[in-house]
Homo-oligomer: A and B are copies of this chain.
Amino acid sequence: MTSNYLKLRFPSLPENVGLARMMAASFAAQLEFTLAEIEEIRVAVSEAVSNCVIHAYPGKPGLIQMNLAIKNNNLVIKIRDYGKGINDIEQAKQATFSTEPERMGLGLVFMESFMDDMGIESQPEKGTTVVMKKHPERGSANAGLSRIS
């Protein structure tokens, strides 16, 4: 069986944040996520894509790539930009840290809280790649049951 994937490329326009989270949610629906888990995925994607729009390309819109994949019953989301990059990732991850005065500095905190796993790679002036993974709680239980019956 070919396991499924979906690769997207779109410009960093604010109206695409909603599109990106809807696509991630629809793709995720292939796994047995609960509605609450799908909500968490929507928030995480919204945060990551919003960061590309605001921080990576503050001047004019640039390219965002979002790759969605199913790997061993895990949802894997990779979001990449070719923008400004992050100087100090540990600092960026701290709650309430933001380089923009009007923002809450909670995006990376939400991404870490709502996904099972989150990793960031970034190079100043080259861009940033965020990889997030999530496993359906229910799905793992069901997989067990269906094997037994």
- Spell out A's residues near B (CB within 8 Å): 2, 4-11, 13, 15-16, 19, 22-23, 26-27, 30, 60-61
Interface of A is mostly: mixed
Work out how many copies of this chain go into the complex. Answer: 2
The CA-CA distance from A47 to B116 in the complex, in Å, is 37
The CA-CA distance from A78 to B4 in the complex, in Å, is 21
- Pairwise interchain contact B15-A11, C-beta atoms closer than 8 A: no
- Pairwise interchain contact A26-B19, C-beta atoms closer than 8 A: yes
- Chain B residue nearest to A20 (CB atoms) is B6
Q: What chain B residues lie within 8 Å of A30 (beta carbons)?
A: 15
Q: What chain B residues lie within 8 Å of A8 (beta carbons)?
A: 6-9
Nearest CB of B to A28, in Å = 11
- Pairwise interchain contact A9-B7, C-beta atoms closer than 8 A: yes
The CA-CA distance from A22 to B30 in the complex, in Å, is 14
Nearest CB of B to A17, in Å = 12
Q: What chain B residues lie within 8 Å of A4 (beta carbons)?
A: 10-11, 13, 15-16
The CA-CA distance from A13 to B70 in the complex, in Å, is 13
Nearest CB of B to A37, in Å = 19
Query: What are 16 sample pairs from A and B whose C-beta atoms fall under 8 A apart?
Result: A2-B13, A2-B60, A2-B61, A4-B10, A4-B11, A4-B16, A5-B10, A5-B11, A6-B8, A6-B9, A7-B10, A8-B8, A8-B9, A15-B30, A19-B23, A19-B26
